[in-house]
Amino acid sequence: MKQIMLWFSWFVSYYVLVLNTIYAILILISLFGIVSYWKNKIKGRIVEIVSSDFAPPVSLLVPAYNEEATIAKSVKSFLQIEYPEYEVVVINDGSKDRTLDVLKSEFELYIVDRKFRKVLPTKDIKAIYYSKKYSNLIVIDKENGGKSDALNAGINVCTYPYVCSLDADSILERDSIAKVMQPFFDNPDEVVATTGIVRIVNGCKLDAFGNIQELHLPKSAIAKFQIIEYLRAFLGARKGLSMIGSLVIASGAFAAFNKNAIIKVGGFSHRTVGEDMEVVVKLRKNSYKEGGHGKVEFVPDPIVWTQCPESIKDLSKQRRRWQRGLCQVLFMHKDLLFNPRYRMLGLFAMPYQFVFELLGPFVEIMGYIFIPFAYFTHIINLEVALFFFAVEVLYGIVISILAVLLGEFSERKYEEWREFGLLVLFAILENFGYRQMTVLFRIIGTFEAILNKKGWAKPERKKL
């Protein structure tokens, strides 16, 4: 028995070592990708797209449920972007607060009798509004059906061949759409989805039109920790996964798709709270079946800003929901796991999500509990315990600091040395309590998925 427990201790330690090494490799791959991006696709390339008559028109889809605190400023930022032809389609998904009233007042809405084809099934649409102030703003008022239902309603009503999903508490940079549409502009036959880096708006100062005026760290420690996570997840993992053809998540806060391709795979699914991941998996899967490449391109540039939770309660809701979505998508597409027919999607991308993102929290928590217990009961020696501490905590600190340094390559960075120093400090501190807390939330989320828990569990929004 003692030998089995010793082997298990080494297994947990080497598992964490492999996981963190993969993260480190992805960050290094990302670094090369980001340098290449800035060399080859710098501002002049974006200006070319913005001024081109051939830039594909796009519909921005904004699902909104109880968003009265943020909706006006967010929509204003969406209406200020620099792009040849686009429309903003806000879908009020049966809000119980004053979301629709705010939109009516702020944008002078009026009802129109607009005809559309219901190519995707959705809850009933009660009314469609146009704006007297902005000719490219459409507001859909519908019965509540959830985020995926709202997005499908937006696809039914919208005008243009490309769609971009956005959160109702997001703020766009002016050239965001040009950046995220660039891969479609360059390679429309191979790219099935594009996405970009999401940054945290908490603590930033906005002007009256929703533009970022001053970039500052949030006061909340919980929010500061999430800045580290977002830099690691987006600039590190997702850019790296994109470059090796293994990205299966296009953030629901900002992702662009070919509308007909979305319709062909049945739209956004109601069966999961991870609809953003599930639709990307479906698009890639279908592309491979049709002989395509199923590329998901990640744009490593700060292009959308979103609110993050500032309380442990709201953070728990968010992370549990994310984990439930991951579990649901993996179960819905279990036929992809280790399936060579789907190339990198089946042989690495989905197995990576299963082995490390789904099972990882359980292995980590066993390490935190079992290895100290095994050491103090003399089952393992100090060498094994220190090895686990080194690969779990010290290696984790190195990866977090690398992610912060990677953020310095972005166009939007914290200018003050004090704020940069704070980020480095929080990159260290997150490995002593915060990370373990989020691991616990993910475990709870997995059990909630097994128990088939329903509901979105939306965090509280604050006025921007």
Per cent of the chain over pLDDT 70 is 93
- Has residue 454 got a pLDDT over 80? no
- How confident is the model at residue 403, as a pLDDT? 86
Q: 212 near 171, Cβ under 8 Å?
A: yes
Q: Which of 37, 90, 121, 145 is nearest to 410 (CA)?
A: 37
pLDDT in tens, 374-410: 888 888 888 889 999 999 999 999 999 988 888 776 6
The Cα 52–Cα 49 span in angstroms is 5
Is the pLDDT higher at 463 or at 373?
373
pLDDT in tens, 188-224: 888 999 998 888 888 888 777 667 777 888 999 999 9
pLDDT range class, residue 453, cuts 50, 70, 90: confident
Highest mean pLDDT among 178-187, 226-235, 442-451: 442-451
- How confident is the model at residue 31, as a pLDDT? 85
- Residues in contact with 84: Cβ distance below 8 Å, sequence separation at least 6, in sequence order: 50, 51, 52, 53, 55, 57
pLDDT range class, residue 412, cuts 50, 70, 90: low
Q: b/e map of 272-304 (b: 16 or more CB within 10 Å)? A: bbbbbbbbbbbbbbbbbeeebebbbbbbbbbbb
- Residues in contact with 422: Cβ distance below 8 Å, sequence separation at least 6, in sequence order: 217, 224
- How confident is the model at residue 260, as a pLDDT? 93
Average pLDDT over the chain, rounded to whole?
89
pLDDT range class, residue 413, cuts 50, 70, 90: low
Is the pLDDT higher at 418 or at 398?
398
Q: 301 near 182, Cβ under 8 Å?
A: no
- How confident is the model at residue 35, as a pLDDT? 80
pLDDT range class, residue 98, cuts 50, 70, 90: very high
- Has residue 252 got a pLDDT over 90? no
- How confident is the model at residue 257, as a pLDDT? 96
Mean of pLDDT values over 159-165: 96
Mean of pLDDT values over 70-92: 92
- Has residue 351 got a pLDDT over 90? yes
Mean of pLDDT values over 75-99: 93
Radius of gyration of the chain (CA): 22
- Has residue 99 got a pLDDT over 90? yes
pLDDT in tens, 255-304: 999 999 999 999 999 999 999 999 999 999 999 998 888 899 998 876 78
Angle at 455 between CA 67 and CA 346, to 5 degrees: 105
Is the pLDDT higher at 178 or at 329?
329
Q: Which of 184, 295, 193 is nearest to 245 (CA)?
A: 295
C-alpha atoms less than 13 angstroms from C-alpha of 118 in its C-beta half-sphere: 7
pLDDT range class, residue 139, cuts 50, 70, 90: very high
| Type of residue numbered 247 | L
- Has residue 37 got a pLDDT over 90? no
- Has residue 462 got a pLDDT over 90? no
How do 212-214 and 205-206 pair as beta strands? antiparallel
- How confident is the model at residue 49, as a pLDDT? 67
- What the chain holds in terms of domains, given with CATH numbers, is 22-41+169-343 (3.90.550)
Query: Cα 17 from chain centroid?
Result: 25
- How confident is the model at residue 113, as a pLDDT? 92
